[in-house]
Amino acid sequence: MATGNWTRVSQFILMSFSSLPTEIQSFLFLTLLIIYLVTLTGNSLIILVTLADPMLHSPMYFFLRNLSFLEIGLNLVIVPKMLGTLLAQDTTISFLGCATQMYFSFFFGVAECFLLATMAYDRYVAICSPLHYPVIMNERTRAKLAAASWFPGFPVASVQTTWLFSFPFCDNKVNHFFCDSPPVLRLVCADTALFEVYAIVGTILVVMIPCLLILCSYTRITAAILKIPSARGKRKAFSTCSSHLLVVSLFYVSLSITYFRPKSNNSPESKKLLSLSYTVVTPMLNPIIYSLRNNEVKNALGRTFHKVLAFRHHVSLCSKR
């Protein structure tokens, strides 16, 4: 129903990768489906193993489990709909569905920024105060830190989503594979200057505050490692935080590529492909990094699989009797 220059929108159309040839869309669908399944499987295994294995009940793996929950949530919000647009060309999404997708993508993204900062603080305490680590990072403290990491996502997502979807829209074609703020904002036919200032300032604060906390933690960690006299001790200390440092680097590089790259002559399709690094690729790599670079996780996975096989063998023997 049109009124003046704006349209009362009841649903949006996700343009996704519709301008690409069918063959490329099919290849992209298969690639993203494999990545999606690997992401869900890898992060689910991290959650199950860190819960089941008593050796992984330390604060470090408690926060890693929270990170896996966030990665699964982000994927469930974005990827299934994207796969649907590629496979069945189901490009429509309801007004409420678009707002919900944007809300949870903001929520999980903001929560991950702060959780990575919390994990950096955990590594700082473990390396710089190893004797006091069990006391400082007790169950109550780690629960509070996890809650503090998740909480900022609620007000940020609520304000930005509610404010953006209160505007009138001139069009309903979102030139992206999910309802992200910049492509939806382009459809608004109203003065959005104040919202844009809020969005830019909010994004910078949400990204920079955790980033500064991470930098401060790793500055102190580096100083502590350099004071260790033996080379073996230095390698061991650095190995305890190398996986997290790699995950942080991937996250912030992909986030910068997605939201802070300068305007260029790149095609919209190439920009969408770049956005996949933050929304799809990084969540898949995180459990792989922690599994391949961490002997404790690898050993726990082995113990868990042996327990499962032994249980199945026991069940089969009982059924034969």
Domain interval for residue 232: 11-261+271-297
Which residue type does 200 have?
I
Predicted confidence at residue 3, as pLDDT, reads 44
Distance separating alpha carbons of residues 188 and 186, to the nearest angstrom:
6
Helix axes 268-276, 231-259, angle to 10 degrees: 150
Predicted confidence at residue 194, as pLDDT, reads 94
| Residue 46 forms part of a structural domain | yes
Which pLDDT tens digits describe the chain residue by residue (321 residues)?
A: 344 455 577 899 998 888 888 888 889 999 999 999 999 999 998 998 888 888 888 898 899 999 999 999 999 999 999 998 888 777 899 999 999 999 999 999 999 999 999 999 999 999 988 889 999 999 999 999 999 999 999 999 999 999 999 999 988 999 999 999 989 999 999 999 999 999 989 888 898 899 999 999 999 999 988 888 888 888 887 887 888 888 888 888 877 777 766 665 556 666 777 788 888 888 898 888 877 666 677 676 677 666 666 656 555 666 666
Predicted confidence at residue 317, as pLDDT, reads 61
Distance separating alpha carbons of residues 213 and 74, to the nearest angstrom:
23
Predicted confidence at residue 1, as pLDDT, reads 38
173-174 and 11-14 beta bridge pairing: parallel
Tens digit of pLDDT for each residue in 82-108? 998 888 777 899 999 999 999 999 999
Tens digit of pLDDT for each residue in 205-247? 898 899 999 999 999 999 988 888 888 888 887 887 888 888 8
**What is the token pair recorded at 41?**
């499987």
Q: Is 293 left (phi over 0), alpha (psi -120 to 50) or beta?
A: alpha
Query: 70: domain CATH number?
Result: 1.20.1070.10
**Number of separate domains in the chain:** 1
Beta-carbon contacts of residue 8 (< 8 Å; ≥ 6 apart): 1, 2, 168
DSSP characters over 100-141:
HHHHHHHHHHHHHHHHHHHHHHHHHHHHHSTTTHHHHT-HHH
| Residue 319 forms part of a structural domain | no
Distance separating alpha carbons of residues 53 and 139, to the nearest angstrom:
17
Q: Which of 48, 49, 101 is nearest to 75 (CA)?
A: 101
| Residue 164 forms part of a structural domain | yes
Buried (b) or exposed (e) across 258-294, using 16+ Cβ within 10 A?
Answer: bbeeeeeeeeebebbeebbbbbbebbbbbbebbbeeb
| Residue 6 forms part of a structural domain | no
| Residue 183 forms part of a structural domain | yes
**What is the token pair recorded at 294?**
């961490």
| Residue 306 forms part of a structural domain | no
